[in-house]
Structure 1
Amino acid sequence: MFKTPNRHHSYGVGMTAEHLISRAGAPLLTVVGQVRPDQLTSPTPCTGYDVRQLINHLLFWGPSLEGAGNKEAVPPPAEAESAMDLTKGDWSGDLATQVQRTIAAWTTSEAWQGTTRMAGPDELPSALIGGMVATELVVHGWDLGTATGQQPSWDDEVLEYVHQEVAGHAEWGRQVGSYGPEVPVAATAPLLDRILGLTGRAVS
């Protein structure tokens, strides 16, 4: 069972989760802007996804994550993710725009209050979904960066927050297929490594 994240946890002077979301997403935006077309077939640490498929995944679910922040239920496309190719055309610009829209939706305090919906009919705590959004930005930013020879980094406040979120809902994430089996990581390892281990990623 996962713990509901606490939006009011202090991450610094006057710092709450809505103040961290843009800092969680900024490295992903930098990575996306530097992915070359010839790298689209490169494998990523996200099991089963190459770079193109991971970009497609982010484009597929992005509107739903944005909608959740705006308290709007935006279901994903009816067609299966694996059957769609959203990377035609300006995939880099499209993904950057979607990430920016998702970040903007979660930078208001209202986004983190009460409940919201993402893909299904069930209402879930908004702070839980917001924590998952921040985790997606960091972990998939690392996935894409690693796959394309980049080294994105996040400040300690962001990593502390994301680690708290992942630790609270990792088991649930594994049950619904979002995370792979936990990869053991030393308790003294860097925060990013511990986050990645909880989501099933091996850090070499």
Structure 2
Amino acid sequence: MSLPELMRTAAEAANDVVQGVRPDQLSLPTPCADWDVRALINHLLTTSGHMSELVARKQPVDLAALMETDFMTGDWAKDYAVQVDKAAAAWALPGATEGEFAMHGPPYPAEALAGMFLSELVTHGWDLARATGQTLRVSDELAAAVLELNAGMAPEGRTQGLFGEPVTLKEGASTLETAVAIAGRDPR
């Protein structure tokens, strides 16, 4: 699958999990120590929804304003479905993965930023599924792509506090379990 196809598939998988979250689950803890379910969904709306679309379209990103916005008002599940669809569609536009883009700090290759958003969808989709008793359903091909992305981002992600220490898994772990374990999640 191409990167836009992987993005579309990951967006659909994460959206399936978001749609399965009940309002009474919003205060549950997640594998992300600082976030409950509500905060994690807000983060997904911010990053894999709004920010991802802006980056794919190469439009300015006011990172501070986005990070301070509470998107968990009104029909947040519907809002997520609409926004993650728009973001995935934007990554399929001609030139979306070409060139460089500066969100904050130095510019990064657009393709690397797309990979970061893809990892966000799957890794945080898994976090949300785990917190709410659901299963993130992804293909082996998508899981393998995120495993490769997470392995590449892990050293810098740990330095920035975005990834935890890798979790050692027993033999026979799935590709998805291995991908999230590299990011510091314990699938057990």
Q: TM-score under structure 1 normalisation?
A: 0.84
Q: 1:94 aligns with which of 71, 75, 79?
A: 79
Give the aligned partner of residue 34 of structure 2: 48
Residues 187/67 of structure 1: CA separation in 2 closer, same or farther (3 Å cut): farther
Identical positions, percent: 40
Q: 1:85 aligns with which of 64, 70, 91?
A: 70
- What does the per-residue CA deviation read over 1:112-168, in whole Å, with 9 as the maximum and x for residues that have no partner? 1121223x0421011111111111111111111111111121111111111111111
Give the aligned partner of residue 88 of structure 2: 103
Give the aligned partner of residue 60 of structure 2: 73
Is the Cα contact below 8 Å between 1:69 and 1:102 reproduced in 2? yes
Q: Which runs of 4+ in 1 moved over 6 A?
A: none
Residues 202/60 of structure 1: CA separation in 2 closer, same or farther (3 Å cut): same
Once residues 85 and 110 of structure 1 are traced to their aligned partners in structure 2, the CA distance between those partners, rounded to angstroms, is 31
The question of 1:115 aligning with 2:94 is answered no
Give the aligned partner of residue 132 of structure 2: 148
Once residues 180 and 150 of structure 1 are traced to their aligned partners in structure 2, the CA distance between those partners, rounded to angstroms, is 22
Shift of 1:55: 1.1
Give the aligned partner of residue 31 of structure 1: 17
Q: Identify unmatched segments of 5+ residues in structure 1.
A: 1-14
- Which structure's residues are more often helix, by fraction? 2
RMSD value, Cα: 1.8
The question of 1:182 aligning with 2:166 is answered yes
Once residues 187 and 114 of structure 1 are traced to their aligned partners in structure 2, the CA distance between those partners, rounded to angstroms, is 40
Residues 74/46 of structure 1: CA separation in 2 closer, same or farther (3 Å cut): same
Is the Cα contact below 8 Å between 2:147 and 2:180 reproduced in 1? no
Give the aligned partner of residue 124 of structure 1: 108
The question of 1:191 aligning with 2:178 is answered no
Aligned residues: 187
Residues 48/123 of structure 1: CA separation in 2 closer, same or farther (3 Å cut): same
Shift of 1:75: 1.8
Once residues 85 and 125 of structure 1 are traced to their aligned partners in structure 2, the CA distance between those partners, rounded to angstroms, is 29
Q: Identify unmatched segments of 5+ residues in structure 2.
A: none
Q: TM-score under structure 2 normalisation?
A: 0.91
Shift of 1:85: 3.2
